[in-house]
Each structure stands twice: as C-alpha cells, then as structure tokens.
Amino acid sequence: MSILALFMFAAVVLIMLAGFPVAFTLAGVALLFAFGGALAGVFDTAFLATMPSRVFGIMGNETLVAVPLFVFMGVTLERARIAEELLDTLGQLFGRLRGGLAISVTLVGMLLAASTGIVGATVVTMGLLSLPTMLRRGYDPAVATGTISASGTLGQIIPPSIILVLLGDVLSSAYQQAQLSQGIYNPDTVSVGDLFIGALLPGLTLVALYIAWLLIVAWLRPQAMPPGRSEEDRREGRLALRVIRALLPPLLLILAVLGSIMAGFATPTEAAAVGGAGALLLAALRRALDRERLRDIARSTARISSMVFMILIGASLFSLVFRGYAGDELVRDFLTGLPGGVYTALFMVMLVMFLLGFVLDFIEITFVVVPIVGPVLLAMGLDPVWLGIMIAINLQTSFLTPPFGFALFYLRGVAPAEVPTSAIYRGVIPFVIIQLLMLLLLAAWPALATWLPDRLQG
C-alpha cells in the first residue's frame, strides 16, 4: 500500500494550493489517511503512538531555540530602520558609479540577509525603500525589480539564515539515520554551525556574481542604470562618518554572531541570543524603541515562530504516516534504482524541490521533503554540508523563477502600479541564470562548501 503515501503527498500539495493553512493541512491529511488506513486494515496505528515523544523532542531541541532568537534579531533590526540608513548611505558612497544604486541595493540586501534571514521581510523592505528611488533616478524597471528580488532572496544562503538552522537540524537527523542504516553505530554529526560556515563562500560568491552582472549591464546599457547625484549628496555632510555610523554597528553585530560560531566560542543558539540582545541594544542606541514598537516586535516574533513550530509539528505527523505506509522505502527504491547512481538521484531530488518551491515555502519543503530524501542521498555518500548548501541555493533559485517565485509575489505586492509584472519577470531572468551557474559551480567544486568547515575543524 506504499502508493497511498504518494497519494497523501499529492493531497497535501493540492489542499495547500487551495489556500488552507500549511500546518493544519499536513496534520489533517495525515490523520485522515491514518484513520482511513486503520479502518481498512492497511495502516498500523502504533506509528501514531510515537507522536507525543516527537512533540516533546521538538520542545526540548536546543538547536531550534535559535529560530525565535534569529527572528527576534531580524524583526528588531527591521523596525530600527537599519535598512533605510544603509541604503541611503551606500547610495551616496557609490553615487558617482554608473549602476551604483543597484550595487548598493545588492550590498544592503546581503547585510539584511545576514541580519534577518527572512526572505519575505527583506524583499518587501527593499521594495518599499529602494524601488521608488531607483525608478525616480531613471533606472529601467526590469533592472530595478530584478536587483531587488535577487538581493532579497540572499537570506536563503547568507548566514545566519533561518533555513540553514532548520536544514541543519533536519540534516543532522537524516545523517544519523543514513549512517545507522549502513551499520555505523558511532555516527558522525553535522551541525547548524557547519552549514553556516559552509554557506559563507557560496553566499559571497553569489553576491560577487550579482555585482559583476550589474557592472556588465551598466557598461552595455548605460541608459538603464544612470549614476546618482553624488556631488549634491556629498555636500550634505561628512560621507565617511555617515558610512562608518551606518555600516559599523550592523557589521559588528553580524561578526559577533558568525565569529562566535566559527571560533567555537558559542553554539548557533547561543550566538542567536547574542544577536537578539545586540539588535535590541542597537535599536535602543538609535532611539528606535518605544513601548508600541517593542510590543510590535514581540508580536511579530511570536507570530513567525509559532508558524514555524506548528508546521514542524504537522510535518512530523505527516512523516510518521508517510513511513507507516512505507513511503520512505518507495522513495529509496526509486532513487537507488535510477540509472547513473547518486548523480541522477541528486538531480531528480533537486528538480522536484525546485518545482515544489513554486507552491510550497522553504519551511514546508525542509520539514516534509528533506526528511524523506535526505537519508537516502546521504547513505549514497553525499557530504551533508554540501547537500544542505545545494538545497538552499536550489530553493533560492526556485523562489526567483517566473511565474511562481515567492520573491516575485512579495515584490509585486509593494511595487507601484506603473511597474508591469512582465518587467519583474524580465528583470529576474539573468539572476536566475546566475543562480543556476552557482549551482553548477557548487556541483563541480564541492569544496566551495566543504573546504572552510573542514579547515576550521582541522
């Protein structure tokens, strides 16, 4: 009856497309198939008896405590208007350079990604702050919207990223399952910190490729990316002092978070606590905190964190029922039976995740798909850090790809009416090609993701 597992997966996708809440869809469909199968005598309800221990395991998982802390850090920095000051200051710094404003948007997107790790919030914030300015200065709408959409999705890969926290926890369990299935009873481990360190080089390479493309466009199509009014801006005050004031505090905060992890001084959860406290201090020093804003920060943090953990609980129930119908064995047999071995299996998994990224958010894919395919791929000899970074970049590409990319929907929601949707689609296509190039580079040279973690551990 393992075919029922595939029907259950298809039912979940269809019901979520109809607009039902993800967490309750996962849990509700799983229970319906479980009780239906039990009545038909094809499902063992003993699988459901392990659900309470899973919930308590989620509650006691120290790694997942980093999620609300990083969310708190990101929301606090967003409410403190860090992005607005960064964009204005970098826009003046690169004002003379043709395309300088687009480069500023990319760099601010990178810094916001490292500060928040939330794609939707970054795209919306950058769209509200920078799109009107870029259009007012004569930027081509396609170039402007493509730059904002691409830089907003850097939160998928630039650490500390929430998706890397969730992927690290899921891949850790999958890696242990893979080793136990091979008879290794003293398994190696992979941590969230390993993924953070492994994502640094690919993430910075991606930013460099973005900027290189923008410089090429500025050279080939100068009318699409005019220079800013740098001389007027420079006469307004001391630019160097403004750059230091705008850049130094968030950079120090990011370095404190990532540096403590890379140096081994703190776990990702402890570093997330440092980040949350630092963001609160930074907002207070900028006089950007009052009772109403603190209440708003607390509510947003609770709302986003609750959504993540409710989806995790629903996905745990779904995976239990999926395994009860031997769906994991069906997937394993299919992937291991493909011609070409591990490379064909990896390509198929990446293709499926890419297509699912059109209709599912990264949280659902991480909690539903990765626990199913992760143990199979890792048992075939793939490096867990490399696989995690490949998945993150793949999902980032999916969120950018027309016509269903989530980042495009976010930007469309805040873009002016005079910017056509076709311009947004045209603008992101070069960045999608860059993303695919990055995937090929990472596939050809896994050391891009594995060298730095191995070096630091060694």
Contacts of 30 (CB under 8 A, 6+ apart): 8, 314, 317, 318, 320, 321, 322
Q: How far is CA 455 from CA 263, 422, 443, in A?
A: 12, 45, 20
Domain borders along the chain are 3-457
Q: Number of helices and strands (H, E) in the chain?
A: 22, 0
17: tokens are 């497309």
Could you tell me how far CA 144 lies from the centroid of its own chain?
22
d(CA 60, CA 57): 5
pTM (2 decimals)?
0.84
151: tokens are 């830089």
pLDDT greater than 60 at residue 70: yes
pLDDT greater than 80 at residue 100: yes
Contact 44, 320 (CB under 8 A): no
Contact 66, 192 (CB under 8 A): yes
- What was the pLDDT predicted at 232? 47
433: tokens are 């090609």
> Three-state SS for 281?
helix
Contacts of 22 (CB under 8 A, 6+ apart): 16, 311, 314, 360, 361, 363, 364
Which residue shows structure tokens 């709302």? 303
Contact 267, 156 (CB under 8 A): no
pLDDT greater than 60 at residue 383: yes
d(CA 139, CA 162): 32
Contact 102, 214 (CB under 8 A): yes
Helix (H) or strand (E) holding 396: helix 384-400
Contacts of 118 (CB under 8 A, 6+ apart): 71, 74, 155, 162, 304
Better pLDDT: 290 or 81: 290
- The residue-averaged pLDDT of 202-221 equals 92
pLDDT greater than 60 at residue 229: no
pLDDT above 70 coverage of the chain, percent: 95
Backbone angles phi, psi at 212, to 5 degrees: -60, -40
- What was the pLDDT predicted at 115? 62
Please list, residue by residue across 288-313, b when 16 or more beta carbons sit within 10 angstroms of its beta carbon and e when fewer do.
Answer: ebeeeeeeebeebbeebbebbbbbbb
- The residue-averaged pLDDT of 336-355 equals 87
Contact 153, 191 (CB under 8 A): no
Other C-beta atoms lying within 10 Å of the C-beta of residue 224: 18
d(CA 391, CA 397): 10
240: tokens are 């160097």
pLDDT greater than 90 at residue 387: yes
- The residue-averaged pLDDT of 105-109 equals 85
pLDDT tens digits for range 239-250: 677 777 778 888
Rg (CA), the chain: 23
pLDDT tens digits for range 406-426: 788 888 888 888 888 889 999
Share the mean pLDDT of the chain: 84
- What was the pLDDT predicted at 260? 87
Contact 119, 156 (CB under 8 A): yes
Contacts of 59 (CB under 8 A, 6+ apart): none
> Three-state SS for 251?
helix
Q: Is 259 exposed, middle or buried (0-12, 13-18, 19+ CB in 10 A)?
A: middle
Backbone angles phi, psi at 60, to 5 degrees: -95, 5
308: tokens are 């993540």
Backbone angles phi, psi at 134, to 5 degrees: -65, -40
d(CA 41, CA 36): 9
Better pLDDT: 207 or 71: 207
- What was the pLDDT predicted at 179? 86
Other C-beta atoms lying within 10 Å of the C-beta of residue 183: 6
98: tokens are 């043709």
Tally the C-alpha atoms within 13 A of residue 442's C-alpha that lie toward its C-beta.
Answer: 29
pLDDT tens digits for range 252-300: 888 888 888 888 888 888 988 998 899 899 888 888 788 888 999 899 8
